[in-house]
């Protein structure tokens, strides 16, 4: 089975802190994604990566950056956390073919106080 593992399920951070959300997949997938999920807004794509060191902005990249130094690992970085970044963050991966299934991690609940 494909496994996408997010390092932290629940985090509480202070405004202005730098926050790292880590994600690892074990299926040698080329694509990796970071989404944000909010009530009434569904899932919104923050960033994605299709190869090591490659990254592309999604729909809501402002306030976020990403890092992909190894194929299996994709990190989401909040340079200076703000309260409006309180949300559920979902990491996902897929192979490099359109129409293929995307596999999700269990999510990371981030609260910024």
Partner 1 sequence: GNSVTQMEGPVTLSEEAFLTINCTYTATGYPSLFWYVQYPGEGLQLLLKATKADDKGSNKGFEATYRKETTSFHLEKGSVQVSDSAVYFCALSDRMNYGGSQGNLIFGKGTKLSVKP
77 part of the interface to partner 1, by CB under 8 A: no
Contact code string over 32-71 relative to partner 1, x by CB under 8 A: -x------xxxx-x--x-xx--x-x-x-------------
Provide φ and ψ at 66, rounded to 5°. -140, 165
Find out whether 39 and 106 touch, Cβ atoms under 8 Å.
no
DSSP-based three-state secondary structure for 27: coil
**Residue 105 binding partner 1, by CB under 8 A:** yes
Residue 12 touches partner 1, criterion: CB under 8 A: no
**Which positions touch partner 1 (CB under 8 A)?**
4, 30-31, 33, 40-43, 45, 48, 50-51, 54, 56, 58, 90, 92, 94-107
């Amino acid at each position: 089975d494909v496994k996408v593992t997010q390092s932290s399920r629940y985090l509480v951070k202070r405004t202005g802190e730098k926050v790292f959300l880590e994600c690892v997949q074990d299926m040698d997938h080329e694509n990796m994604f970071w989404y944000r999920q909010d009530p009434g807004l569904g899932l919104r794509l923050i960033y994605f990566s299709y190869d090591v060191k490659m990254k592309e902005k999604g729909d809501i990249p402002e306030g976020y950056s990403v890092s992909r130094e190894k194929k299996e690992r994709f990190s989401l970085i909040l340079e200076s956390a703000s309260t409006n970044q309180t949300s559920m963050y979902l990491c996902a991966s897929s192979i490099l073919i359109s129409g293929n299934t995307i596999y999700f991690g269990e999510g990371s609940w981030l609260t910024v106080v």
